[in-house]
Amino acid sequence: MAGGGGEGELNLVPYLDIMLNLIMFLLVVTAYIVELREAPVLVPTLTGDNGPGPVDPDKKGYLSVVVTQRALSIASSKEGVAPVELLRKGGVLPYRDLTQVLRQFKDSGTVEDTLQVLADPAIPYSEVVATMDAARTDGKTALFPGIQLALALP
Amino acid sequence: MSEPTQAELDQISANDDEFMLRRRRHGDPGIVGLNLTAMMDVMTILLVYLIKVFSDAPQNITLNDDLRPPASTAPDNIVPAVRVMISAGAISVDDKTVLQVKGGEVVPTDPKNKYGPLSGALQKRVDDIRAISQRTHGPGFDGILMVVADEDTPYGLLADVLSQAGRAQFTSYRLTVRHK
């Protein structure tokens, strides 16, 4: 070490400088890291097995939720089940009401675990994702873990 | 607070001298240099932790005002896959812009085949993955598509993109969201 004593000690100061700069850089960068997750979705298959076919009254029905500019509409493929319409409140879709209605359907035991979500083409993606969130779980237990995204309104 | 008098200062100085004298008598050399070892330990642990956090961040997705995925309670972690990004201004496949978007609609380069560049890019990506896996005897094409879309993207545009991906033989879609 230039001008240092005879003990030959390692000069840690430059190393500390680098470490300090690195830590500051990483601290700043990690503050901007947004935690991302994934929502898996199913899409309709083109195998030809999904045709309407003869209606079996004992078979469970499929639920579908349609997101429109006006409301959320819930309908079952099972005969005799009346569709439910939840109107927007102050421009916001009633996601909590949707969860409650879906819970009732689920508890009735007449519907499959897969739910179909459809939306008007002008609906923002965030509202579709929020609808999927409301249908996936009620905060305590799972409702419809399998969500099928329909690509066009019927 | 009043300033100390000369007598008080003399007393403090005498006390200090006595203290140093006592230390020397007990063989204590006093502070001769700052011990940096403990500080180095702390900094190294902090550095390793931060590097770990940084490396755990999902695939390099740069979010900005044009690309802000919606917030969701979806619990799944991100799986690396072919990535389609739909921002307010463009659609890109694995960071390569293939289509321009304006006002939630695609700006067509070929009016007859509006989504031609997108389906071409997706098909090329699938072919590349298949060719690489054949050569390297790797796991092959898994059909997973990671969709990173801006929260204001109209559902019609998203559905069109997914429909094009379906034609390119993608079978499993995973929507990337911000963790709520």
In this structure, are B126 and B41 located in the same domain? no
For A85-143, how does the pLDDT look when each residue is reduced to its tens digit (9 = 90+)? 999 988 899 999 999 999 998 888 888 888 999 999 999 999 999 999 999 988 888 88
User: A-chain residues within 8 Å CB-CB of B115?
Assistant: none
Q: Is A37 on the interface with B (CB under 8 A)?
A: yes
Give the number of A-B residue pairs with CB atoms closer than 8 Å.
Answer: 139
Band (A154; pLDDT cuts 50, 70, 90): very low
The answer to whether B125 touches B151, Cβ cutoff 8 Å, is no
Q: Is A136 on the interface with B (CB under 8 A)?
A: yes
Band (A56; pLDDT cuts 50, 70, 90): low
Give the per-residue pLDDT at A1. Answer: 43
Position A45 pLDDT exceeds 50: yes
d(CA B9, CA B139): 82
A105, part of any domain: yes
Tell if the CB–CB gap between B146 and A22 is shorter than 8 Å: no
In this structure, are B48 and B125 located in the same domain? no
In this structure, are B83 and B28 located in the same domain? no
B66, part of any domain: no
Q: Determine the structural domain holding residue B49 and report its residue range.
A: 6-56
User: B-chain residues within 8 Å CB-CB of A122?
Assistant: 154-156
Facing residue for A41 by CB, picked from B44, B156, B173: B173
Tell if the CB–CB gap between A41 and B163 is shorter than 8 Å: no
Tell if the CB–CB gap between A126 and B146 is shorter than 8 Å: no
The CATH number assigned to the domain holding A125 equals 3.30.420.270
Tell if the CB–CB gap between B177 and A124 is shorter than 8 Å: no
In this structure, are B125 and B168 located in the same domain? yes
d(CA A22, CA B85): 31
In this structure, are B98 and B125 located in the same domain? yes
The total number of structural domains in chain B stands at: 2
For A13-22, how does the pLDDT look when each residue is reduced to its tens digit (9 = 90+)? 888 889 889 8
Question: pLDDT 10s per residue in chain B (180 long)?
Answer: 567 788 887 887 777 777 666 666 666 666 667 777 888 888 889 888 888 877 766 666 778 888 999 999 888 888 888 999 999 999 999 989 999 999 989 998 888 888 999 999 999 999 999 999 989 888 888 889 999 999 999 999 999 999 899 888 898 899 999 888
Distance from CA of A39 to the nearest CA of B (A): 5
In this structure, are B78 and B161 located in the same domain? yes
The CATH number assigned to the domain holding B154 equals 3.30.420
B9 versus A70: the higher-pLDDT residue is A70
Instruction: Name the closest residue on chain A to residue B156, using Cα atoms.
Output: A121
In this structure, are B90 and B124 located in the same domain? yes
A33, part of any domain: no
A104, part of any domain: yes
User: B-chain residues within 8 Å CB-CB of A151?
Assistant: 159, 162-163
Band (A2; pLDDT cuts 50, 70, 90): very low
Tell if the CB–CB gap between A130 and B156 is shorter than 8 Å: no
B113, part of any domain: yes
In this structure, are B29 and B100 located in the same domain? no
User: A-chain residues within 8 Å CB-CB of B152?
Assistant: 124-126
Give the per-residue pLDDT at B46. Answer: 87
In this structure, are B77 and B153 located in the same domain? yes
Tell if the CB–CB gap between A124 and B57 is shorter than 8 Å: no
A75, part of any domain: yes
In this structure, are B31 and B106 located in the same domain? no
A32, part of any domain: no
In this structure, are B153 and B82 located in the same domain? yes
The question of ipTM being above 0.85 is answered as no
B21, part of any domain: yes
The total number of structural domains in chain A stands at: 1
Band (A53; pLDDT cuts 50, 70, 90): low
A49, part of any domain: no
B64, part of any domain: no
Q: Single out the residue of A73, A42, A48, A76 nearest to residue A62, CA to CA.
A: A76
B152 versus A45: the higher-pLDDT residue is B152
d(CA A61, CA A44): 16
Give the per-residue pLDDT at A43. Answer: 76
Return the HEC string of chain B. CCCCCHHHHHHHHHHHHHHHHHHHHCCCCCCCCCCCHHHHHHHHHHHHHHHHHHHHCCCCCCCECCECCCEECCCECCCCCEEEEECCCEEEECCEEEEEEECCEEECCCCCCCCHHHHHHHHHHHHHHHHHHHHHCCCCCCCEEEEEECCCCEHHHHHHHHHHHHHCCCCEEEEEEEEC
User: B-chain residues within 8 Å CB-CB of A20?
Assistant: 43
Stretch among A39-43, A47-51, A132-136 having the lowest mean pLDDT: A47-51
User: A-chain residues within 8 Å CB-CB of B156?
Assistant: 121-122
A19, part of any domain: no
Buried b (16+ CB within 10 A) or exposed e, A49-66: eeeeeeeeeeeebbbbbb
Q: Determine the structural domain holding residue A88 and report its residue range.
A: 61-149
B38, part of any domain: yes
B162, part of any domain: yes
Question: Which of A126, A132, A137, A138 to mutate to test binding with chain B, by most B CBs within 10 Å of its CB?
Answer: A126
Q: Single out the residue of B51, B173, B148, B78 nearest to residue A125, CA to CA.
A: B148
In this structure, are B148 and B172 located in the same domain? yes
